[in-house]
Structures are given as C-alpha cells and as structure tokens.
Amino acid sequence: MLQPKTYPEMLGKALVFEAEPFITMVEDDNPWAEGLFMVVCMGVLVGLAKVGGALLTSAIMPNTEAALSALLQVWRQFAVFVGPMAGTGAEAESWFRQWWPVGTGLFGYSWSWMQFGWIVFAPFVLALQWLLVGLVTHGVARALGAVGITVDKKADVPKAVKKMLAEKQPCVVDFKVEREA
C-alpha cells in the first residue's frame, strides 16, 4: 500500500510522464484503488482550477445583459436578412431569454453557484474516462493479438518483451510480475 504522503510527488512525476510512478503503481498491492484515488484527486484539482478560472473569466467579461441584448440585436438583423426561413424571431428571442442564465452560468460567462458542480463533476468524468480508455486499450490490444507474459523477476521483463517482439507479436505487451517470495 502506498503512503498518502507520497501522492503529491507521484502525481507530479506522473504528469510529466516519468517512469517511477507507473512502475510503483504496477508493483502496488492494490493498483486499481490507488489509481482511482489519484484520478479522483486530480479531478478535484481540475474542478477547483475550473471554478477559479470561471471566477476570473466572469470578472473580466462584459455585463451579461449587454451581451444578451447584442446577441438578440444580431438575431433580429439575421431574421430580417434571411426572411421567412428563420421562422419567427419572437420564438428564438424567448428561447434565448429563457436559457441565457443557464448557459452563462454553466459555461463560466457569469459567476453562478453552478460552477461548484465542476468540483464533483470533473473527478467523475475523469474516472469514467480512465476506466473507458483502459478497457478500450485492453480490448484493442487483445484484438491485435497481444498476449500476457509472466516473469519470475522484475529483471526478466526486458528479456521477455524482446522475445515477444522477436516472435513478431504485436508491440502492445501486457505483463505481470509475480511477487518474489
């Protein structure tokens, strides 16, 4: 089991693709739980960064009512230009007015309490993405003929990989190192 005090260092090294955190996770007794925890921690950090970014973005943007009136003015000019194809301008205008507060809050144009949803939503999305990418990658590797190899010692891994590549097996290799007794 990894020590929680090593998580920040491991996350930092993993973000710049150093090999040590990945090797440590493979050798861990419960890599799925540790990996999921790290993905969720990264998701919370991403969510907090998104909330901070939305706050800064909303601070520098023009008033939302001014933007809405400009959007509606452009729509009215477009409706006159297009004519009957545009339908009724009143329907579109009521739709814009109805959904404008939701859209501005959701996409960070104006500050709203909905921005805090990213703190919960980002870890969920990242964990789901992590799971889907892992399953698809594993499925594609198996479909291409990748086979798992078992080695007795960690030092035997390069030799086993070279043997697989020499036999013209696909380059995607799935391996597990058995624990030494």
Q: What is the pLDDT of residues 95-147, one digit of tens each?
A: 888 988 888 877 767 777 777 888 888 898 888 998 899 889 888 888 887 76
Instruction: Tell me: pLDDT of 169 over 80.
Output: no
More confidently predicted of 13 and 105: 13
Q: Structural domain of residue 174, as residue ranges?
A: 145-181
Q: Which strand (E) or helix (H) includes residue 68?
A: helix 64-82
41 and 27 co-located in one domain: yes
Give the total number of structural domains in the chain: 3
Clarify whether residues 12 and 56 are in a common domain.
Answer: yes
Instruction: Report d(CA 158, CA 40) in Å as an integer.
Output: 32
Looking at the fold, whether 149 and 79 belong to one and the same domain comes out as no
Q: Are residues 37 and 123 in the same domain?
A: yes
Task: Say yes or no to pLDDT of 88 above 80.
Answer: no
**pTM > 0.75: yes or no:** no
Residue among 180, 48, 181 nearest 119 (CA):
48
